[in-house]
Amino acid sequence: MALRFFWRWVKEAIVNLVRNLWLATSAVGMIAVAVFLLGFIVLLALNAAHFARTVEKGLEIAVFLKDGLKSAEREELARKLAQIEGVAKVEFVSRQEALEKLRRELGENSDLLRGLDKNNPLPDSFRLFPKQPQLVPLIAKEAAALPGVEKVRYGEGVVEKLLRVTNWIRWAAAGLVLLFAVAAVFLTVTTIRLSILSRGEEISIMKLLGATNWFVRGPFVCEGLLIGFLGAGLATGFLAWGYWSLLWHLEETTLFFFRPVSEARTLITLYLSLLFSGVLLGGISSFISVRRFLAV
Amino acid sequence: MSNKEKNPRAREVVPLIKFCNVTKIYPNGVRALVDVSFSIERGEFVFVVGPSGAGKTTLTKLICREELPTRGQVLVNGRNVARLRPSEVANLRRRIGMVFQDFRLLPRKTVFENVALALEIAGASWREIRKRVPEVLARVGLADKARCFPHQLSGGEQQRVAIARALVNRPFLLMADEPTGNLDPQTSWDLLQLLLKINEEGTTVLMVTHAWDLVNAVGKRVISLQEGRLTEELPAWGNYRYGT
Ligand SMILES: Nc1ncnc2c1ncn2[C@@H]1O[C@H](COP(=O)(O)OP(=O)(O)OP(=O)(O)O)[C@@H](O)[C@H]1O
Ligand SMILES: [Mg+2]
């Protein structure tokens, strides 16, 4: 019995779609546009957040040591630094290594450093990596207070500004996603409501013939699910294809210092969620839109 | 209806339809029925007559609970329709065959599908539908129009589709609101014969009509409405000539 009703729903839904092809096509198109825009914005937001994270990951603190520190004192300091809250990793950089690094960075101009090998002016130092970028100023302050520390450098002022920018990027991305999600929901609900509006008369006739609410509602909900599936499927397909070819092109031109989000799991999760939301939204919109006609 | 199951004697005791001082005032203030009382027994054939706007359609709407009475009670099978639960209302409507004055066919469904819908709603199997729909379409003379859509039919043909849909479930009560309104005299007469036959098979029939020749020809009970009031009610005692 239940199975037979279910088949009737599906059959009715498909017959309705075919008989109202124009209406169905425009509904699918509208939902496709809504889902595509939403997906596009989500991808943008994901990349913005990824960018912010990449920038923040580069943050570190340089702790320069006083000259002539004994190795026991140095180890003691390393231990204390590692104990500061929020420090993920402590790395020792000897004065020779520091010079090497400087030389590498200067490249062609490394001649400037000639002769400094014997008289290296650079101090020994520790590199501290924070667990969270926001902790950088705090860690720096604590490190500066430890014995044997000459001075602490972390790009004061710049870091705070940078963190403000990355935070702003995150909020803006989240806000944009929310905005577009709401717009997509409204667009879908309205589209489906309009497609059902013209059939309010049919619904009341069925009720007068003794149909139960679910008898009437079933085909409409199936139809909504189907329209949602087609629309969201179309949109997700385009989006996946578009983003994939973008990644492909960027791979060839290593123009960006930052690589866009390309983790398969993240992307597939996104595409599936978009598809699922579209289907669900289609069904729910139908459910809601039919309700007002059922009171006969 | 569940009364019938609970109490087997209810079938004999309770009239099929009973109006107790029913007044219907529409939200816009129109008084469509005023203090109407009557009852219809099982197996009766009743005409409802009266001028346009007298409240005839309203009377049928109250029976299938499309509208609720403002005052008074409408009892079907001894049960107050205003008190029925939604599932009971659906059940009641499935067992009443209703021919609406404006047909109310689904425009996007074929003739076959329109008639089949009533069976589907009643939970009939596909095999049953395949058997019963052609039968009933043949009965109203539309066997060859099964695949047409309503807008491809004449007014009279649409009306007969509506009648087929009302008959297909073998209802215990058939209400036909001016079922001959769009039919030529010969087809009207054939239709009346069909309704009489169905009545003989045990279905109670309530027919709203303006066709005096039909009313006079068969000598059945007549309920007459005038500006929402029941003006005369005559038993089936032979030819009754309206207005004489
Ligand atoms: N839904 C409604 N809302 C408001 N007034 C209504 C409604 N339906 C009917 N009426 C009014 O109620 C009165 C009775 O209407 P009804 O349809 O019952 O008449 P009728 O006897 O069937 O007439 P006809 O022979 O023309 O079909 C009319 O005055 C009509 O205008
Ligand atoms: Mg009427």
Identify whether the C-beta of residue A156 lies closer than 8 Å to the C-beta of residue A109. Answer: no
* Interval A170-212: pLDDT, tens: 899 999 999 999 998 998 899 888 888 888 889 999 999 999 9
Would you state the pLDDT for residue A261? 85
> pLDDT 10s digit of each residue in chain B, 244 long?
444 455 555 555 789 999 999 999 999 999 999 999 999 999 999 999 999 999 999 999 999 999 999 999 999 999 999 999 999 999 999 999 999 999 999 998 999 999 999 999 999 998 999 999 999 999 999 999 999 999 999 988 999 999 999 999 999 999 999 998 888 899 899 889 999 999 999 999 999 998 888 898 888 999 999 999 998 765 444 444 444 3
- Among the candidates A121, A153, A185, a domain finishes at A153
pTM flag (> 0.80): no
Identify whether the C-beta of residue B152 lies closer than 8 Å to the C-beta of residue B109. Answer: no
Find the residues whose C-beta lies inside 6 A of ligand 1.
B 26, 28, 30, 32, 50, 52-58, 101
Q: Which helix (H) or strand (E) holds A292?
A: none
The verdict on A191 and A264 lying in the same domain is: yes
Q: Say how many Å lie between the CA of residue B113 and the centre of ligand 1.
A: 30
Tokens of B236: 């089936």
Q: In what order do the strands lie in the sheet with B79-80?
A: B31-40, B17-25, B71-76, B79-80
Contact B87 A212 (CB under 8 A): yes
Is residue A296, in this structure, part of any structural domain at all?
A: no
Residue B142 to residue B120: CA distance in whole angstroms: 20
Beta strands (DSSP E) in A111-259 are 125-130, 149-153
pLDDT level of residue A101 (50, 70, 90 thresholds): confident
The verdict on A172 and A246 lying in the same domain is: yes
The verdict on A144 and A258 lying in the same domain is: no
Residue B205 to residue B198: CA distance in whole angstroms: 8
Would you state the pLDDT for residue A29? 94
ipTM: 0.87
Would you state the pLDDT for residue B12? 57
Would you state the pLDDT for residue A2? 67
Is residue A243, in this structure, part of any structural domain at all?
A: yes
> Beta partners for A92?
A126
The verdict on A191 and A278 lying in the same domain is: yes
Within 8 A of B91 by CB-CB distance, chain A residues are 210
Provide the shortest C-alpha distance from residue A205 to chain B (in Å): 7
The verdict on A204 and A132 lying in the same domain is: no
Domain count, chain A: 2
Structural domain that includes position A116? 60-153
Residue A114 to residue A119: CA distance in whole angstroms: 10
Please name the amino acid found at residue B114. Answer: N
CA-B50 nearest atom, ligand 1? 21
The verdict on A171 and A129 lying in the same domain is: no
Is residue A221, in this structure, part of any structural domain at all?
A: yes
The verdict on A73 and A50 lying in the same domain is: no
Q: At what angle do helices A213-252 and A158-197 cross, to 10 degrees?
A: 140
Would you state the pLDDT for residue B233? 64
Identify whether the C-beta of residue B59 lies closer than 8 Å to the C-beta of residue B138. Answer: no
The verdict on A87 and A147 lying in the same domain is: yes
Distances (CA, A) of B7 to A264, B13, B78: 69, 10, 11
The verdict on A6 and A94 lying in the same domain is: no
pLDDT level of residue A240 (50, 70, 90 thresholds): very high
The verdict on A215 and A284 lying in the same domain is: yes
Please name the amino acid found at residue B144. Answer: D
The verdict on A226 and A133 lying in the same domain is: no
Contact A16 B108 (CB under 8 A): yes
Burial letters for B156-184: b for 16+ Cβ neighbours within 10 Å, e otherwise?
bbbbbbbbbbbbbbebbbbbbbbbbbbbe
Mean pLDDT across chain A, nearest whole number?
A: 87
Q: Say how many Å lie between the CA of residue B158 and the centre of ligand 2.
A: 17
Q: Following DSSP, what letter does each residue of A22-87 receive, concatenated?
A: HHHHHHHHHHHHHHHHHHHHHHHHHHHHHHHHHHHHT--EEEEEPTT--HHHHHHHHHHHHHSTTE
Is residue A81, in this structure, part of any structural domain at all?
A: yes
- Among the candidates A122, A153, A184, a domain finishes at A153
The owner of tokens 């650079």 is A122
Residue A270 to residue B145: CA distance in whole angstroms: 52
Is residue A117, in this structure, part of any structural domain at all?
A: yes
Residue A28 to residue B33: CA distance in whole angstroms: 48
- Among the candidates A102, A128, A153, a domain finishes at A153
Is residue A92, in this structure, part of any structural domain at all?
A: yes
The verdict on A129 and A203 lying in the same domain is: no
